Structure 1
Amino acid sequence: MDRIIVSNSSQSSHNTYLLNTNKVLRNTYLLLALTLTCSALTATASTILKLPAPNFLVMLFGFYGLMFLTHYLANRPAGIIAVFALTGFMGYTLGPILSSFIADGAGNLIMLALSGTAAVFFCCSFYVLTTRKDMSFLGGMMIAGFVVILVAIIANIFLKIPALSLVISSLFVLFSTGAILLETSNIIHGGEINYIRATVSLYASLYNIFISLLSILGLNRDN
Protein backbone atom coordinates (compact mmCIF):
# COMPACT_ATOMS: atom_id res chain seq x y z
CA MET A 1 0.00 0.00 0.00
CA ASP A 2 2.83 2.41 0.88
CA ARG A 3 4.49 1.69 -2.45
CA ILE A 4 1.28 2.46 -4.30
CA ILE A 5 0.91 5.76 -2.45
CA VAL A 6 4.52 6.72 -3.19
CA SER A 7 4.11 5.72 -6.83
CA ASN A 8 0.94 7.77 -7.21
CA SER A 9 2.61 10.73 -5.52
CA SER A 10 5.62 10.54 -7.87
CA GLN A 11 3.34 10.27 -10.89
CA SER A 12 1.34 13.27 -9.73
CA SER A 13 4.51 15.31 -9.20
CA HIS A 14 5.77 14.33 -12.65
CA ASN A 15 2.47 15.31 -14.27
CA THR A 16 2.52 18.66 -12.46
CA TYR A 17 6.09 19.24 -13.64
CA LEU A 18 5.13 18.50 -17.25
CA LEU A 19 2.12 20.81 -17.07
CA ASN A 20 4.22 23.67 -15.68
CA THR A 21 6.93 23.12 -18.30
CA ASN A 22 4.42 23.06 -21.16
CA LYS A 23 2.78 26.21 -19.79
CA VAL A 24 6.10 28.08 -19.71
CA LEU A 25 6.94 26.88 -23.23
CA ARG A 26 3.52 27.83 -24.59
CA ASN A 27 3.57 31.28 -22.96
CA THR A 28 7.12 31.87 -24.17
CA TYR A 29 6.30 31.10 -27.80
CA LEU A 30 3.12 33.16 -27.65
CA LEU A 31 4.89 36.18 -26.17
CA LEU A 32 7.80 35.74 -28.61
CA ALA A 33 5.39 35.81 -31.56
CA LEU A 34 3.77 38.98 -30.24
CA THR A 35 7.08 40.72 -29.58
CA LEU A 36 8.38 39.82 -33.03
CA THR A 37 5.22 41.32 -34.50
CA CYS A 38 5.78 44.44 -32.41
CA SER A 39 9.36 44.70 -33.68
CA ALA A 40 8.24 44.19 -37.26
CA LEU A 41 5.70 47.01 -36.94
CA THR A 42 8.14 49.47 -35.36
CA ALA A 43 10.83 48.54 -37.90
CA THR A 44 8.37 49.13 -40.74
CA ALA A 45 7.29 52.46 -39.27
CA SER A 46 10.93 53.48 -38.76
CA THR A 47 11.71 52.55 -42.36
CA ILE A 48 8.73 54.35 -43.88
CA LEU A 49 9.24 57.49 -41.79
CA LYS A 50 13.01 57.36 -42.46
CA LEU A 51 13.80 57.90 -38.79
CA PRO A 52 17.47 58.58 -38.04
CA ALA A 53 19.62 55.81 -36.64
CA PRO A 54 20.22 56.11 -32.88
CA ASN A 55 23.77 56.96 -31.90
CA PHE A 56 25.92 54.48 -30.02
CA LEU A 57 25.10 55.77 -26.53
CA VAL A 58 21.34 55.79 -27.18
CA MET A 59 21.56 52.28 -28.57
CA LEU A 60 23.68 51.08 -25.64
CA PHE A 61 21.64 52.62 -22.84
CA GLY A 62 18.34 51.92 -24.57
CA PHE A 63 19.02 48.23 -25.04
CA TYR A 64 20.72 47.45 -21.73
CA GLY A 65 18.48 49.78 -19.76
CA LEU A 66 15.31 48.18 -21.09
CA MET A 67 16.88 44.72 -20.75
CA PHE A 68 17.63 45.39 -17.07
CA LEU A 69 14.12 46.77 -16.55
CA THR A 70 12.58 43.70 -18.17
CA HIS A 71 14.54 41.29 -15.98
CA TYR A 72 13.76 43.38 -12.89
CA LEU A 73 10.02 43.25 -13.64
CA ALA A 74 10.01 39.69 -14.97
CA ASN A 75 7.89 38.39 -12.08
CA ARG A 76 5.36 41.22 -12.25
CA PRO A 77 2.61 42.08 -14.75
CA ALA A 78 4.56 45.22 -15.69
CA GLY A 79 7.21 42.91 -17.12
CA ILE A 80 4.99 42.40 -20.17
CA ILE A 81 5.04 46.14 -20.86
CA ALA A 82 8.82 46.20 -20.43
CA VAL A 83 9.21 43.36 -22.96
CA PHE A 84 7.23 45.25 -25.60
CA ALA A 85 9.16 48.44 -24.84
CA LEU A 86 12.45 46.57 -25.36
CA THR A 87 11.42 44.78 -28.56
CA GLY A 88 9.74 47.87 -29.93
CA PHE A 89 12.95 49.84 -29.39
CA MET A 90 15.00 47.13 -31.09
CA GLY A 91 12.58 47.19 -34.00
CA TYR A 92 13.10 50.93 -34.30
CA THR A 93 16.87 50.44 -34.47
CA LEU A 94 16.37 48.04 -37.39
CA GLY A 95 14.57 50.68 -39.45
CA PRO A 96 17.63 52.68 -40.62
CA ILE A 97 19.50 49.45 -41.40
CA LEU A 98 16.65 48.13 -43.52
CA SER A 99 16.29 51.51 -45.21
CA SER A 100 19.92 51.43 -46.32
CA PHE A 101 19.48 47.98 -47.86
CA ILE A 102 16.29 49.02 -49.64
CA ALA A 103 17.91 52.22 -50.91
CA ASP A 104 20.73 50.13 -52.39
CA GLY A 105 18.26 47.84 -54.12
CA ALA A 106 19.11 44.95 -51.82
CA GLY A 107 15.67 44.31 -50.39
CA ASN A 108 16.00 40.66 -51.43
CA LEU A 109 18.85 40.29 -48.93
CA ILE A 110 16.49 41.33 -46.13
CA MET A 111 14.10 38.53 -47.05
CA LEU A 112 17.00 36.09 -47.34
CA ALA A 113 18.30 37.03 -43.88
CA LEU A 114 14.78 36.79 -42.46
CA SER A 115 14.28 33.34 -44.00
CA GLY A 116 17.65 32.18 -42.68
CA THR A 117 16.81 33.41 -39.18
CA ALA A 118 13.46 31.62 -39.21
CA ALA A 119 15.09 28.42 -40.49
CA VAL A 120 17.71 28.46 -37.71
CA PHE A 121 15.07 29.03 -35.03
CA PHE A 122 12.67 26.33 -36.22
CA CYS A 123 15.43 23.77 -36.75
CA CYS A 124 16.95 24.38 -33.30
CA SER A 125 13.56 24.34 -31.57
CA PHE A 126 12.43 21.22 -33.43
CA TYR A 127 15.63 19.39 -32.54
CA VAL A 128 15.45 20.14 -28.81
CA LEU A 129 11.70 19.61 -28.50
CA THR A 130 11.75 16.27 -30.32
CA THR A 131 14.91 14.81 -28.78
CA ARG A 132 14.40 16.54 -25.39
CA LYS A 133 18.18 16.50 -25.10
CA ASP A 134 19.75 18.39 -22.21
CA MET A 135 21.91 21.08 -23.79
CA SER A 136 23.36 22.39 -20.53
CA PHE A 137 26.80 21.23 -21.67
CA LEU A 138 26.80 24.24 -24.02
CA GLY A 139 27.06 26.64 -21.07
CA GLY A 140 30.86 26.56 -20.84
CA MET A 141 31.30 26.87 -24.59
CA MET A 142 28.90 29.82 -24.66
CA ILE A 143 31.01 31.68 -22.10
CA ALA A 144 34.18 30.97 -24.07
CA GLY A 145 32.48 32.02 -27.28
CA PHE A 146 31.32 35.28 -25.73
CA VAL A 147 34.89 36.11 -24.68
CA VAL A 148 36.20 35.36 -28.17
CA ILE A 149 33.54 37.54 -29.80
CA LEU A 150 34.20 40.39 -27.35
CA VAL A 151 37.94 40.30 -28.04
CA ALA A 152 37.32 40.20 -31.80
CA ILE A 153 34.95 43.19 -31.63
CA ILE A 154 37.43 45.26 -29.63
CA ALA A 155 40.23 44.33 -32.03
CA ASN A 156 38.15 45.27 -35.05
CA ILE A 157 37.38 48.71 -33.61
CA PHE A 158 41.04 49.54 -34.18
CA LEU A 159 41.88 47.28 -37.12
CA LYS A 160 38.70 47.77 -39.21
CA ILE A 161 39.34 44.66 -41.30
CA PRO A 162 36.34 43.59 -43.46
CA ALA A 163 37.35 39.93 -43.20
CA LEU A 164 37.33 40.18 -39.39
CA SER A 165 33.87 41.75 -39.52
CA LEU A 166 32.72 38.73 -41.52
CA VAL A 167 34.24 36.40 -38.90
CA ILE A 168 32.55 38.30 -36.07
CA SER A 169 29.16 38.09 -37.77
CA SER A 170 29.64 34.36 -38.35
CA LEU A 171 30.59 33.87 -34.70
CA PHE A 172 27.46 35.77 -33.65
CA VAL A 173 25.32 33.41 -35.72
CA LEU A 174 26.94 30.37 -34.09
CA PHE A 175 26.74 31.90 -30.61
CA SER A 176 23.07 32.86 -30.98
CA THR A 177 22.22 29.44 -32.41
CA GLY A 178 23.76 27.86 -29.32
CA ALA A 179 21.79 30.27 -27.14
CA ILE A 180 18.51 29.14 -28.74
CA LEU A 181 19.39 25.50 -28.15
CA LEU A 182 20.39 26.18 -24.55
CA GLU A 183 17.37 28.35 -23.69
CA THR A 184 14.87 25.92 -25.21
CA SER A 185 16.51 23.08 -23.31
CA ASN A 186 16.35 25.11 -20.09
CA ILE A 187 12.62 25.62 -20.58
CA ILE A 188 11.69 21.99 -21.16
CA HIS A 189 13.95 20.74 -18.36
CA GLY A 190 12.75 23.25 -15.78
CA GLY A 191 15.88 25.39 -15.73
CA GLU A 192 13.88 28.44 -16.80
CA ILE A 193 10.42 28.88 -15.29
CA ASN A 194 9.85 32.53 -16.19
CA TYR A 195 8.47 32.96 -19.70
CA ILE A 196 9.32 36.67 -19.82
CA ARG A 197 13.03 36.03 -19.30
CA ALA A 198 12.88 33.12 -21.75
CA THR A 199 11.22 35.33 -24.37
CA VAL A 200 13.84 38.04 -24.03
CA SER A 201 16.64 35.49 -24.38
CA LEU A 202 15.16 33.95 -27.54
CA TYR A 203 14.33 37.37 -29.00
CA ALA A 204 17.89 38.63 -28.48
CA SER A 205 19.25 35.51 -30.20
CA LEU A 206 16.93 35.97 -33.18
CA TYR A 207 17.81 39.66 -33.42
CA ASN A 208 21.54 38.89 -33.41
CA ILE A 209 21.16 36.16 -36.05
CA PHE A 210 19.15 38.45 -38.33
CA ILE A 211 21.58 41.36 -38.01
CA SER A 212 24.59 39.06 -38.46
CA LEU A 213 23.13 37.44 -41.58
CA LEU A 214 22.39 40.89 -43.00
CA SER A 215 25.98 41.89 -42.32
CA ILE A 216 27.36 38.74 -43.97
CA LEU A 217 25.13 39.12 -47.02
CA GLY A 218 25.89 42.84 -47.25
CA LEU A 219 29.66 42.29 -47.12
CA ASN A 220 29.47 39.57 -49.75
CA ARG A 221 27.39 41.85 -51.95
CA ASP A 222 29.87 44.69 -51.59
CA ASN A 223 32.74 42.36 -52.45
Structure 2
Amino acid sequence: MSRPDYLNMKNGDSHRAEPVVLDAGSYRDEVVTTDARKVLRNTYMLLSMTLVFSAAVAGMSMAFNWPHPGLILTLVGYFGLLFLVEKTKNSAMGLVSVFALTGFMGLTLGPIVSMYAKLPGGTEMIMTAMGATGLIFFAMSAWVLTTGKELSGMGKTLMVGILVAFGLSIANIFLGLPVLSLAVSGMFVMLMSGLIAYQTSAIIHGGETNYISATVTLYVSIYNLFLSLLQILGVMGSDD
Protein backbone atom coordinates (compact mmCIF):
# COMPACT_ATOMS: atom_id res chain seq x y z
CA MET A 1 0.00 0.00 0.00
CA SER A 2 1.45 3.35 -0.96
CA ARG A 3 1.82 5.93 1.80
CA PRO A 4 0.88 9.63 1.69
CA ASP A 5 3.58 12.10 0.64
CA TYR A 6 4.13 13.40 4.16
CA LEU A 7 5.19 9.92 5.29
CA ASN A 8 7.40 9.33 2.28
CA MET A 9 9.46 12.48 2.60
CA LYS A 10 12.88 11.58 3.97
CA ASN A 11 16.25 13.20 3.54
CA GLY A 12 17.68 9.94 2.29
CA ASP A 13 15.29 9.74 -0.65
CA SER A 14 17.14 12.29 -2.77
CA HIS A 15 19.02 9.55 -4.67
CA ARG A 16 15.75 8.50 -6.31
CA ALA A 17 15.05 11.89 -7.79
CA GLU A 18 15.52 12.67 -11.44
CA PRO A 19 17.01 16.13 -11.91
CA VAL A 20 14.92 18.70 -13.74
CA VAL A 21 16.61 21.83 -15.06
CA LEU A 22 14.89 25.08 -14.05
CA ASP A 23 15.19 27.80 -16.65
CA ALA A 24 17.04 30.66 -14.95
CA GLY A 25 17.16 33.04 -17.93
CA SER A 26 20.35 35.09 -17.72
CA TYR A 27 21.17 33.46 -14.36
CA ARG A 28 22.87 30.11 -13.92
CA ASP A 29 20.71 27.01 -14.38
CA GLU A 30 19.57 25.39 -11.17
CA VAL A 31 18.91 21.67 -10.80
CA VAL A 32 15.74 20.93 -8.84
CA THR A 33 15.01 17.34 -7.86
CA THR A 34 11.61 15.78 -8.36
CA ASP A 35 11.35 15.46 -4.57
CA ALA A 36 11.81 19.22 -4.20
CA ARG A 37 9.18 19.85 -6.84
CA LYS A 38 6.81 17.51 -4.96
CA VAL A 39 7.39 19.40 -1.70
CA LEU A 40 6.77 22.70 -3.49
CA ARG A 41 3.56 21.43 -5.09
CA ASN A 42 2.24 19.98 -1.82
CA THR A 43 3.17 23.17 0.04
CA TYR A 44 1.26 25.41 -2.36
CA MET A 45 -1.74 23.09 -2.30
CA LEU A 46 -1.88 22.97 1.51
CA LEU A 47 -1.19 26.70 1.76
CA SER A 48 -4.15 27.44 -0.52
CA MET A 49 -6.46 25.29 1.60
CA THR A 50 -5.30 26.82 4.89
CA LEU A 51 -5.72 30.35 3.55
CA VAL A 52 -9.29 29.58 2.46
CA PHE A 53 -10.04 27.92 5.80
CA SER A 54 -8.52 30.78 7.78
CA ALA A 55 -10.46 33.34 5.75
CA ALA A 56 -13.69 31.41 6.38
CA VAL A 57 -13.05 31.39 10.14
CA ALA A 58 -12.22 35.11 10.05
CA GLY A 59 -15.45 35.72 8.13
CA MET A 60 -17.44 33.83 10.76
CA SER A 61 -15.73 35.84 13.48
CA MET A 62 -16.76 39.05 11.75
CA ALA A 63 -20.31 37.87 11.03
CA PHE A 64 -20.97 36.85 14.64
CA ASN A 65 -18.99 39.77 16.07
CA TRP A 66 -16.76 37.51 18.15
CA PRO A 67 -14.37 39.43 20.41
CA HIS A 68 -10.60 39.27 20.05
CA PRO A 69 -9.15 36.66 22.45
CA GLY A 70 -6.59 39.15 23.77
CA LEU A 71 -2.80 39.29 23.66
CA ILE A 72 -2.04 36.61 26.27
CA LEU A 73 -4.46 34.02 24.91
CA THR A 74 -3.35 34.78 21.36
CA LEU A 75 0.32 34.22 22.18
CA VAL A 76 -0.38 31.06 24.20
CA GLY A 77 -2.64 29.66 21.49
CA TYR A 78 -0.24 30.54 18.67
CA PHE A 79 2.94 29.15 20.24
CA GLY A 80 1.11 26.15 21.68
CA LEU A 81 -0.35 25.17 18.30
CA LEU A 82 2.96 25.93 16.60
CA PHE A 83 4.64 23.49 18.98
CA LEU A 84 1.94 20.91 18.21
CA VAL A 85 2.54 21.30 14.47
CA GLU A 86 6.27 20.79 14.96
CA LYS A 87 5.68 17.63 17.00
CA THR A 88 3.21 16.10 14.55
CA LYS A 89 4.55 17.33 11.20
CA ASN A 90 5.71 13.86 10.11
CA SER A 91 2.33 12.21 10.63
CA ALA A 92 -1.25 12.59 9.45
CA MET A 93 -1.98 14.44 12.70
CA GLY A 94 0.24 17.21 11.37
CA LEU A 95 -2.47 18.19 8.88
CA VAL A 96 -4.99 18.49 11.71
CA SER A 97 -2.51 20.64 13.64
CA VAL A 98 -1.96 22.94 10.66
CA PHE A 99 -5.68 23.59 10.25
CA ALA A 100 -6.04 24.11 14.01
CA LEU A 101 -3.27 26.72 13.92
CA THR A 102 -4.49 28.55 10.83
CA GLY A 103 -8.08 28.42 12.02
CA PHE A 104 -7.06 29.95 15.34
CA MET A 105 -5.14 32.70 13.54
CA GLY A 106 -8.19 33.35 11.38
CA LEU A 107 -10.20 33.68 14.58
CA THR A 108 -7.80 36.36 15.85
CA LEU A 109 -7.81 38.10 12.47
CA GLY A 110 -11.58 38.58 12.21
CA PRO A 111 -11.98 41.21 14.99
CA ILE A 112 -8.99 43.18 13.67
CA VAL A 113 -10.38 43.31 10.14
CA SER A 114 -13.79 44.28 11.56
CA MET A 115 -12.19 47.20 13.36
CA TYR A 116 -10.56 48.48 10.17
CA ALA A 117 -13.75 47.93 8.19
CA LYS A 118 -15.55 50.42 10.45
CA LEU A 119 -13.03 53.18 9.71
CA PRO A 120 -13.63 55.72 6.91
CA GLY A 121 -12.38 54.05 3.73
CA GLY A 122 -11.81 50.87 5.72
CA THR A 123 -13.04 48.50 3.01
CA GLU A 124 -10.65 50.05 0.50
CA MET A 125 -7.77 49.73 2.97
CA ILE A 126 -8.52 46.04 3.51
CA MET A 127 -8.74 45.30 -0.20
CA THR A 128 -5.53 47.25 -0.86
CA ALA A 129 -3.70 45.34 1.86
CA MET A 130 -4.95 42.02 0.47
CA GLY A 131 -3.91 42.92 -3.06
CA ALA A 132 -0.48 44.12 -1.98
CA THR A 133 0.03 40.97 0.10
CA GLY A 134 -0.78 38.75 -2.86
CA LEU A 135 1.44 40.80 -5.17
CA ILE A 136 4.42 40.63 -2.80
CA PHE A 137 3.98 36.89 -2.24
CA PHE A 138 3.86 36.09 -5.95
CA ALA A 139 6.69 38.50 -6.75
CA MET A 140 9.07 37.08 -4.14
CA SER A 141 8.17 33.47 -4.99
CA ALA A 142 8.53 34.06 -8.73
CA TRP A 143 11.88 35.78 -8.22
CA VAL A 144 13.32 32.77 -6.42
CA LEU A 145 11.72 30.17 -8.70
CA THR A 146 12.91 31.84 -11.91
CA THR A 147 16.43 32.70 -10.74
CA GLY A 148 17.09 29.68 -8.54
CA LYS A 149 18.56 31.93 -5.83
CA GLU A 150 20.16 30.12 -2.89
CA LEU A 151 19.26 32.17 0.19
CA SER A 152 20.27 29.95 3.10
CA GLY A 153 22.61 32.67 4.34
CA MET A 154 19.62 34.90 5.13
CA GLY A 155 18.33 32.60 7.88
CA LYS A 156 20.12 34.10 10.90
CA THR A 157 19.54 37.68 9.76
CA LEU A 158 15.82 37.05 9.33
CA MET A 159 15.57 35.34 12.71
CA VAL A 160 17.27 38.21 14.54
CA GLY A 161 15.20 40.78 12.66
CA ILE A 162 11.93 39.00 13.46
CA LEU A 163 12.81 38.73 17.15
CA VAL A 164 13.68 42.43 17.30
CA ALA A 165 10.51 43.46 15.46
CA PHE A 166 8.39 41.20 17.66
CA GLY A 167 9.95 42.64 20.82
CA LEU A 168 9.34 46.19 19.63
CA SER A 169 5.73 45.40 18.76
CA ILE A 170 5.12 44.01 22.27
CA ALA A 171 6.79 47.06 23.83
CA ASN A 172 4.68 49.42 21.75
CA ILE A 173 1.51 47.88 23.16
CA PHE A 174 2.41 49.69 26.38
CA LEU A 175 4.10 52.72 24.78
CA GLY A 176 1.43 53.40 22.17
CA LEU A 177 3.72 55.39 19.84
CA PRO A 178 2.29 55.75 16.29
CA VAL A 179 5.75 56.36 14.82
CA LEU A 180 7.13 53.19 16.39
CA SER A 181 4.07 51.27 15.24
CA LEU A 182 4.65 52.43 11.69
CA ALA A 183 8.35 51.55 11.87
CA VAL A 184 7.65 48.07 13.24
CA SER A 185 5.06 47.44 10.54
CA GLY A 186 7.58 48.49 7.90
CA MET A 187 10.13 46.12 9.41
CA PHE A 188 7.64 43.26 9.29
CA VAL A 189 6.81 43.96 5.64
CA MET A 190 10.48 43.66 4.70
CA LEU A 191 11.13 40.68 6.97
CA MET A 192 8.09 38.70 5.84
CA SER A 193 8.91 39.41 2.19
CA GLY A 194 12.40 38.08 2.83
CA LEU A 195 11.01 35.06 4.69
CA ILE A 196 8.81 34.13 1.72
CA ALA A 197 11.83 34.20 -0.57
CA TYR A 198 13.97 32.33 1.98
CA GLN A 199 11.43 29.54 2.48
CA THR A 200 10.84 29.13 -1.25
CA SER A 201 14.59 28.87 -1.80
CA ALA A 202 14.89 26.31 1.01
CA ILE A 203 12.26 24.14 -0.68
CA ILE A 204 13.79 24.10 -4.14
CA HIS A 205 17.32 23.54 -2.81
CA GLY A 206 16.35 20.73 -0.44
CA GLY A 207 16.83 22.69 2.79
CA GLU A 208 13.15 22.14 3.64
CA THR A 209 11.77 18.66 2.92
CA ASN A 210 8.58 18.80 4.98
CA TYR A 211 5.70 20.57 3.27
CA ILE A 212 3.77 20.99 6.53
CA SER A 213 6.58 23.06 8.03
CA ALA A 214 6.96 24.99 4.78
CA THR A 215 3.22 25.73 4.69
CA VAL A 216 3.21 27.10 8.24
CA THR A 217 6.18 29.38 7.52
CA LEU A 218 4.58 30.78 4.37
CA TYR A 219 1.17 31.14 6.04
CA VAL A 220 2.63 33.06 8.98
CA SER A 221 4.54 35.26 6.53
CA ILE A 222 1.37 36.08 4.61
CA TYR A 223 -0.61 36.66 7.82
CA ASN A 224 1.94 39.10 9.25
CA LEU A 225 2.48 40.77 5.89
CA PHE A 226 -1.24 41.46 5.52
CA LEU A 227 -1.61 42.82 9.07
CA SER A 228 1.49 45.01 8.70
CA LEU A 229 0.30 46.50 5.42
CA LEU A 230 -3.15 47.05 6.92
CA GLN A 231 -1.63 48.85 9.90
CA ILE A 232 0.52 51.04 7.65
CA LEU A 233 -2.50 51.99 5.55
CA GLY A 234 -4.49 52.65 8.72
CA VAL A 235 -1.83 54.98 10.15
CA MET A 236 -1.45 56.79 6.84
CA GLY A 237 -5.20 57.09 6.51
CA SER A 238 -5.57 58.55 9.98
CA ASP A 239 -3.14 61.33 9.11
CA ASP A 240 -5.37 62.59 6.30
Normalized against structure 1, the TM-score is what? 0.90
Structure 1 position 15 matched with structure 2 position 15: no
User: Which residues of structure 1 form unaligned runs of 5+?
Assistant: 1-11
Counterparts of 1:101 and 1:184, CA distance in 2 = 31
| RMSD between superposed Cα atoms in Å | 1.5
- Give the structure 2 partner of residue 53 of structure 1: 68
Alpha-carbon distance in 1 for matches of 2:163, 2:99:
29
Identity score, percent: 46
C-alpha change, 1:101 and 1:154, in structure 2 (3 Å) is closer
Match of 1:127 in 2: 143
**Residue 183 of structure 2: which of 164, 167, 178 is its match?**
167
Deviation (angstroms), 1:44 = 0.7
Q: How does 1:63-102 map to 2 (within 5 A)?
A: 63-102=78-117
Residues in 2 aligned to 1:160 and 1:174: alpha-carbon distance in whole angstroms: 22
Q: Residue 199 of structure 2 contacts residue 217 of structure 2 at CA under 8 Å; is this kept in 1?
A: yes
Q: Distance in 2 between matches of 1:111 and 1:49?
A: 21
- The range that moved more, 96-105 or 119-128, is 96-105
**1:219–1:142 CA distance, 2 compared to 1 (3 A):** same
Q: Give the unaligned 5+ runs of structure 2.
A: 1-14, 20-31
Tell me which structure has the larger Cα radius of gyration.
Answer: 1
| 1:44 and 2:44 aligned | no
**1:206 paired residue number:** 222
The one-letter code sitting in structure 2 at the alignment partner of 1:104 is: L
Superposed displacement of residue 148, structure 1? 3.1
Deviation at 1:151, TM superposition (A): 4.5
Please state how far the C-alpha of 1:65 moved relative to its aligned partner: 0.7
SS in 1 for 2:152: coil
Q: Deviations over 1:115-143 (max 9, x none)?
A: 01000100000000010110112123213
Task: Give the paired residue count.
Answer: 212
Give the Cα–Cα distance (whole angstroms) in 2 for the partners of residues 140 and 71 of structure 1.
20
Query: Once the 2 structures are TM-superposed, how far is the Cα of residue 19 of structure 1 from its aligned partner?
Result: 1.1
After the TM superposition, which parts of structure 1 deviate over 3 Å for at least 4 consecutive aligned residues? none
What is the Cα deviation at residue 155 of structure 1? 4.3
Paired amino acid for 1:93: T
Distance across 2 between alignment mates of 1:212 and 1:141 = 20
Which residue does 1:219 correspond to in 2? 235
Could you list the per-position Cα deviations for residues 85-119 of structure 1 after superposition, in whole angstroms to 9, with x for gaps in the alignment? Answer: 11111111111111112222411111000001000
- In the TM superposition, residue 156 of structure 1 has moved relative to its aligned partner by 2.5
The one-letter code sitting in structure 2 at the alignment partner of 1:102 is: A
TM-score with structure 2 setting the length:
0.84
Matching residue's letter, 2:92: P
